Structures are given as structure tokens and as C-alpha cells.
Amino acid sequence: MRRTLLLALTLLGPTLATPAAAQIRQGFYEVEGLNPDGSTYNGMFALENAPGASWYATWQVGDVRLLGLGVIQGGVLAVSFVVEGRPGIATYEVDPDGRLRGTWSTGGGMGTEVLTPR
């Protein structure tokens, strides 16, 4: 009995000690961003399951609404979008607390965003 318990603890030990990895989830997020020129912005972001293992993304920042289509691969969310007629791309990684941290570009420099689940 003692030997069985010791074996079970040995096998399960690493699993019990490792917290579950945070996952990218659909839902609403608060946006805090930094534009390439150094100006900041705030808004809302929504992520929704789409057909074919893809994701619909919607940003609302002031009067500007952006729509995007994304995929998750290797724990990274990549979203394409169009702003003022220019194509853009954003990539996000998930923090242990569920926040998404990312960078984006429309060809005129790199911006950053933090998306906090609501």
C-alpha cells in the first residue's frame, strides 16, 4: 500500500505542482494600448468562436470599430484586420492571469496592447 502511494505521488507530483496553463477564451476584454507614435488608447475587445477553428475579433476604441479574423496556434492568437483601408496584424500571448499581451502593426510601426478579461 505504501509503495503504491509513493509510486502514485511520484507519477502525479509534477502534474500536481504545475498550475493549469491559462487559455485564450472567447468573451469580452478591456483594451489598453500604445500606438507607434507613443499615444495611448482604451476601449473594448470581443473574441468569439467562428467556424473552422477560427475566431472573430472586434475592437471598439472610441468611435472606431475594427473587425478581424484570427487563429490560435501554439498558444498565440493571431488576428488580421483592416483599419483606414490598410491591412493589419496583431498577435497575442496569454498571461497566467488570463490577460492577453500583444503587438500589432499596420505597416507604420509597432503598437502594443493588453487585453484584460471582463
DSSP string, the chain: -HHHHHHHHHHHHHHHHSPPPP---SEEEEEEEE-TTS-EEEEEEEEEEETTTEEEEEEEETTEEEEEEEEEETTEEEEEEEETTEEEEEEEEE-TTS-EEEEEESSS-EEEEEEEE-
- Give the pTM: 0.80
Give me the tens of pLDDT residue by residue for the chain, a chain 118 residues long.
555 444 444 444 443 433 445 789 999 999 999 999 999 999 999 999 999 989 999 999 999 999 999 999 999 999 999 999 999 999 999 999 999 999 999 998 999 999 999 9
The CATH superfamily label for domain 20-117 reads: Quinohemoprotein amine dehydrogenase alpha subunit, domain 2 (2.40.128.120)
Phi, psi of 48 (to 5 degrees): -135, 140
Please state the domain extents for the chain.
20-117
